[in-house]
Amino acid sequence: MMAKQKLLPIDEQPERYQTLALVLTVSAAYLPLASHLNWRVSAFVALVLILRFAAVRWPAAAPGRWLLLALTLVGVANCLLANHTLVGKLGGTSLLVTMLALKLLELRARRDHRISAIALCFVVVVQFLFDQGIGLTLYFGGIAFMIVALLVDLNGGIGSPPIRRAMPVVLRICLQALPLTIVLFALFPRLTSPLWSLGFDQDRATMGMSESMEPGSISELVINGDLAFRARFDQRPPRPDQLYWRGLVLWEVDNRKWSPGRVNQYQPADSELTRAAERIDYEIVLEPSRQRWMFSLDLPIEHPPNTVLSRDFQLLSDRPITTARRYRLSSALDFRTAVPADAERRYALRLPDNTSERMIALVKQWQLETDSDWALVQKGLDFFNREEFHYTLLPPKLGANPWDEFLFLTRSGFCEHYAGSFAVLMRIAGLPSRVVLGYLGGELNRIGGYHLIWQSDAHAWVEVMIAGRGWVRVDPTSAVAPSRVDNRGASRLLGTYAPARFHIDSTGVLANTIRHLRLLADSIDAAWQRSVLDYSAAEQTRLLDRLGLADYGEFALAGIMVAAVTVVMGLILFGLVHQPVAIDPATRCFALLCRRLAAVGLVRHAHEGPLDFAARVAVARPDFALRVNAIVALYIRGRYMPNPTVADVQRLSQLVKAFVPRKPRRSFSNAKCRKYFA
């Protein structure tokens, strides 16, 4: 191995600082990825990197070929052990990072350094599959700069000191590449659907709301501090208590949980709304959930492309949402749905097997006391308000019959307890009802002018079929008396942001400042999301529309891209090649003298030096001789002598400016003239 190193030509031998810089850059690029990988992989890579750093300091520590081969086998086995696969997002990334770290152990020639630096690009791109935040992007912008700098420095031939001389070159390249990058990013045609799938999506569990609701499922979600989506209203946003964000509709109830059921709900809505007023237009940027459902303000009347609006007004995407998705839609706050078909009605009346005597008795009691369906609903809400019901994030555990136990024993729970049991009660009373999962409210970001809807805003409510009014929203949770809301438990669990319904007032200056900073950071994040992350074929189509080229589709886009890249590259090249020609001031003066003499008929020939020309002028016009000789003498001193003085050049300039030759006077006879000019 040592012999091999000696055989390297001199300009292929890397400097130690280059090796160190490469290893540091790889480590820095790997660092954010470490948290996403299995600990086994992280540990192995960390170990290899430590070995590498040691080898920079003590070259003898570098492993030999056989040890390296063994390490490679161990690394692959380790990846297999950790992920059970070498493909897919996690498996592939683990293998890539392991291999790159191992490659660092055999850095001999500069060529190895270059290959490693280029392979590092893969790590950067793979990293963006895990996280695309603005901070991280800036961080990796720095890594990209380092990759360019490493390649420039490895090429060498830059003079010394190499690092300081390489920096302007690297900066120039990066700055010139930026406008090109932006042009390419904006105009490069995008795919509307993936060409292939490596099963990246199956790697992680779904996020956000789950498909069914059982007691405790939403409170788990509420503790999660993640963002669900952002919403931006075109006009004035509705009141917070009107912000019911509709998600899933649950029809079927069994002994423990509510689930979507067998209703053919993915069919498009055929029942028109019989009434829709207070139309609201807005835009939502949904965080990836790996689920198909999307959220809309109760009740959507128009739905975006590539989505389905089902009969029960669920908005469903045609494929799971794996990246942030932006969509526009319209809703009506005041609405009346059509009366459902009988089959649907019957389905909305099915009861669980475990309805208890107490529940039936309670409903019977209400039915006796009321004369209309709506009055019965009010009676139910009164029940939650009047009795000792508590609203808490930390409800006691429920046994085999959760609906009964909640209503008569524990009487403290979260929205899923209220909605679930209320809907069961309504079904006992013969009122078709269903549970809707979604979010309530949201935090207004005044800086960005949009609402943030967090997972902690998750909510469940009930829709009851009332004769003549269609499905009517009833929120039993809101019936709980405010005094019985347990906001201590909530504030402990929710941290800085608590949903409005917990009535937590954080009036402290520090808390407010933190809140504002958080909102500011989120505004930047939202802008990033909107302008960069969500930039897609749709935006490009809109751009083409504006240019009136929509008919040509991707061809127009590609054409514009090529033209724009050419223009930008041309500008860069012009900046490179164009050199302001700094004409020597003495030369400029002499040129002026020649022009003035040419105006009176004394043209300097191309082969004539200044002295010859001056001699000829002196013969032709003895009256100019003195001045022209003085000027030419100064010119020669200023132009050809080493270190001309500024005073000389100034004097030259003065003389030339003052020298304005006139045509020969009439007293010159023609013959004389001819003789002089011969």
Asked if 137 interacts with another protein (CB under 8 A), we say yes
Asked if 643 interacts with another protein (CB under 8 A), we say no
To the nearest whole angstrom, how small is the minimum distance from the Cβ of residue 554 to another protein?
12
For another protein, the closer of residues 379 and 530 by Cβ is 530
Q: Quote the CA–CA distance of 73 and 85 in Å, as a whole number.
A: 15
Q: Which helix (H) or strand (E) holds 149?
A: helix 134-155
Asked if 542 interacts with another protein (CB under 8 A), we say no
Maximal CA-CA distance, the chain: 141
Give the interface size with another protein as a residue count (CB under 8 A): 61
To the nearest whole angstrom, how small is the minimum distance from the Cβ of residue 323 to another protein?
6
594 catalytic? Reply is: no
Amino acid at 138: L
3-state DSSP call for residue 182? helix
For another protein, the closer of residues 360 and 533 by Cβ is 533
Asked if 640 interacts with another protein (CB under 8 A), we say no
**CB under 8 A: which stretch of 242-250, 334-342, 497-505, 573-581 binds another protein?**
573-581
Q: Could you write out the DSSP letters of every residue in 50-79?
A: HHHHHHHH-GGGS--HHHHHHHHHHHHHHH
To the nearest whole angstrom, how small is the minimum distance from the Cβ of residue 271 to another protein?
35
Amino acid at 142: G
Asked if 138 interacts with another protein (CB under 8 A), we say no
To the nearest whole angstrom, how small is the minimum distance from the Cβ of residue 533 to another protein?
5
373 catalytic? Reply is: no
Among 129, 316, 444, 481, binds another protein (CB under 8 A): 129
Asked if 165 interacts with another protein (CB under 8 A), we say yes
For another protein, the closer of residues 169 and 655 by Cβ is 169
How many degrees, rounded to 5, is the angle at CA 185 between CA 36 and CA 100?
35
Exactly one of 79, 303, 312, 415 is catalytic; name it.
415
Alpha helices in 429-508 (DSSP H): 487-494
Asked if 10 interacts with another protein (CB under 8 A), we say yes
3-state DSSP call for residue 524? helix
For another protein, the closer of residues 178 and 547 by Cβ is 178
Angle between helices 88-103 and 16-34 (to 10 degrees): 160
Q: Quote the CA–CA distance of 613 and 124 in Å, as a whole number.
A: 68
Q: Are the CB atoms for 588 and 633 separated by under 8 Å? A: no
Residue with token string 């028109």:
272
Q: Are the CB atoms for 101 and 52 separated by under 8 Å? A: yes
How many degrees, rounded to 5, is the angle at CA 318 between CA 452 and CA 555?
95
Among 341, 375, 520, 573, binds another protein (CB under 8 A): 573
To the nearest whole angstrom, how small is the minimum distance from the Cβ of residue 138 to another protein?
11
Asked if 85 interacts with another protein (CB under 8 A), we say no
Overall residue count recorded for the chain in this entry: 678
To the nearest whole angstrom, how small is the minimum distance from the Cβ of residue 272 to another protein?
35
Q: Are the CB atoms for 387 and 411 separated by under 8 Å? A: yes
Of 135, 225, 191, 198, the C-alpha closest to 537 is 191
To the nearest whole angstrom, how small is the minimum distance from the Cβ of residue 639 to another protein?
16
Asked if 128 interacts with another protein (CB under 8 A), we say yes
Of 212, 254, 213, 310, the C-alpha closest to 427 is 254
**CB under 8 A: which stretch of 152-160, 218-226, 365-373, 540-548 binds another protein?**
152-160
For another protein, the closer of residues 28 and 129 by Cβ is 129
3-state DSSP call for residue 264? coil
* Cis peptide bond prior to 151, omega within 30° of 0: no
Q: Which two three-digit tokens encode residue 200?
A: 């990246």
Q: Quote the CA–CA distance of 538 and 584 in Å, as a whole number.
A: 56
3-state DSSP call for residue 294? strand
Q: Which helix (H) or strand (E) holds 543?
A: helix 537-547
**CB under 8 A: which stretch of 170-178, 338-346, 419-427, 620-628 binds another protein?**
170-178
Asked if 240 interacts with another protein (CB under 8 A), we say no
Asked if 11 interacts with another protein (CB under 8 A), we say yes
Asked if 151 interacts with another protein (CB under 8 A), we say yes
Of 378, 366, 363, the C-alpha closest to 472 is 378
**CB under 8 A: which stretch of 175-183, 230-238, 256-264, 612-620 binds another protein?**
175-183
**CB under 8 A: which stretch of 45-53, 184-192, 206-214, 410-418 binds another protein?**
184-192
To the nearest whole angstrom, how small is the minimum distance from the Cβ of residue 290 to another protein?
14
Q: Which two three-digit tokens encode residue 406?
A: 């909640």
Among 81, 121, 603, 619, binds another protein (CB under 8 A): 121
According to CB under 8 A, which residues from 427 to 446 bind another protein?
A: none
Asked if 8 interacts with another protein (CB under 8 A), we say no
Among 5, 13, 35, 155, binds another protein (CB under 8 A): 155
To the nearest whole angstrom, how small is the minimum distance from the Cβ of residue 158 to another protein?
5
Q: Quote the CA–CA distance of 407 and 419 in Å, as a whole number.
A: 11
DSSP assignment, residue 340? P
For another protein, the closer of residues 195 and 647 by Cβ is 195
Residue with token string 């039915």:
367
Torsion angle of C-alpha atoms 655, 656, 657, 662, degrees rounded to 10: 110
To the nearest whole angstrom, how small is the minimum distance from the Cβ of residue 119 to another protein?
7
**CB under 8 A: which stretch of 180-188, 229-237, 270-278, 346-354 binds another protein?**
180-188
Asked if 569 interacts with another protein (CB under 8 A), we say yes
* Cis peptide bond prior to 161, omega within 30° of 0: yes
Asked if 181 interacts with another protein (CB under 8 A), we say yes
Q: Are the CB atoms for 126 and 95 separated by under 8 Å? A: no
Asked if 178 interacts with another protein (CB under 8 A), we say yes
Distance of CA 365 to the CA centre of its chain: 57
**CB under 8 A: which stretch of 45-53, 241-249, 516-524, 569-577 binds another protein?**
569-577
Among 46, 99, 124, 615, binds another protein (CB under 8 A): 124
For another protein, the closer of residues 76 and 151 by Cβ is 151
E strand intervals along 354-475? 390-391, 412-413, 433-440, 443-445, 450-454, 458-466, 470-474
To the nearest whole angstrom, how small is the minimum distance from the Cβ of residue 607 to another protein?
13
Neighbours of 282 (CB within 10 A): 20
According to CB under 8 A, which residues from 574 to 613 bind another protein?
A: 576-577, 579, 582
Q: Quote the CA–CA distance of 181 and 564 in Å, as a whole number.
A: 11
Asked if 510 interacts with another protein (CB under 8 A), we say no
673 catalytic? Reply is: no
Q: Which two three-digit tokens encode residue 577?
A: 């090649």
Contacts of 583 (CB under 8 A, 6+ apart): none
Q: Quote the CA–CA distance of 127 and 470 in Å, as a whole number.
A: 50
For another protein, the closer of residues 190 and 672 by Cβ is 190
For another protein, the closer of residues 87 and 673 by Cβ is 87
Exactly one of 298, 373, 459, 522 is catalytic; name it.
459
Among 50, 54, 77, 125, binds another protein (CB under 8 A): 125
Active-site residues: which are they? 415, 459, 475
What is the binding site for another protein (CB under 8 A)? 9-11, 111, 114-115, 118-119, 121-122, 124-125, 128-129, 132, 137, 140, 144, 147-148, 151-152, 154-159, 165, 169-170, 172-174, 176-178, 180-181, 184-185, 188, 190-191, 194-196, 200, 323, 532-536, 569, 572-573, 576-577, 579, 582
